[in-house]
Amino acid sequence: MLEVIRQRRSIRKYIRKDIEKERLNEILKAAMFSPTARGLRPWEFILVTNNEAKQQLSTATPYAGFAKEAPVVIVICYDTTKGNRFKEDCSICAENIYLEAANQGLGACFIQIAEGTEGSVGEPEAFVKNLLSIPEQYRVQCLMPIGYPEKQPEPHKDKEFDEGKIHDEKF
């Protein structure tokens, strides 16, 4: 497991190759097997493959430009009527997507759509909701473009393990 965690990087360049449906399903299973507060599973996943829609999504924030290059963009949304820990739930589920993508030899990247994303023109979340016809009670957690990486990323290194961040008993 630690090896997959070490290998997982944010991937922003993809080759032109579609993702097999079975692989995508495994990734979505990983997402839906995530823990959620009170087991409420507030998520919805929109799979965007249409070029025009991906192009539009890539303009949502200044940090989303590469989304149009991915064969699939998973848009993670949550239902605001399902408890009040949906952001945490969907962050964990984004990590499961990251990890299963890495496990499958694919690459993903979390693109924030949050209010106040620096340099955004307008409101990124409202833009995405309008583009994808997301009903009022749902919110957008993030975009996750997924594709085969253009090159193998550098894995995380042992030097990132910082013992100074670990505190015994008290801070």
Ligand X SMILES: Cc1cc2nc3c(=O)[nH]c(=O)nc-3n(C[C@H](O)[C@H](O)[C@H](O)COP(=O)(O)O)c2cc1C
Q: Shortest distance, CB of residue 103 to ligand X, whole angstroms?
A: 15
9 binds ligand X (CB under 6 A): yes
Distance CA(55)–CA(89), nearest Å, equals: 28
Taking a C-beta distance cutoff of 8 angstroms, is the pair 142, 111 a contact? yes
Give the Cβ contact number of residue 83 at 10 Å.
17
63 binds ligand X (CB under 6 A): yes
Q: Shortest distance, CB of residue 5 to ligand X, whole angstroms?
A: 10
Distance CA(48)–CA(54), nearest Å, equals: 7
**Nearest to ligand X of 21, 159 (CB atom):** 159
Residue numbers 109-128 binding ligand X by CB under 6 A: 109-112
**Nearest to ligand X of 13, 83 (CB atom):** 13
Distance CA(55)–CA(60), nearest Å, equals: 9
Give the Cβ contact number of residue 10 at 10 Å.
11
Q: Shortest distance, CB of residue 66 to ligand X, whole angstroms?
A: 7
Q: Shortest distance, CB of residue 112 to ligand X, whole angstroms?
A: 4
Site of interaction with ligand X (CB under 6 A): 9-10, 12, 61, 63, 109-112
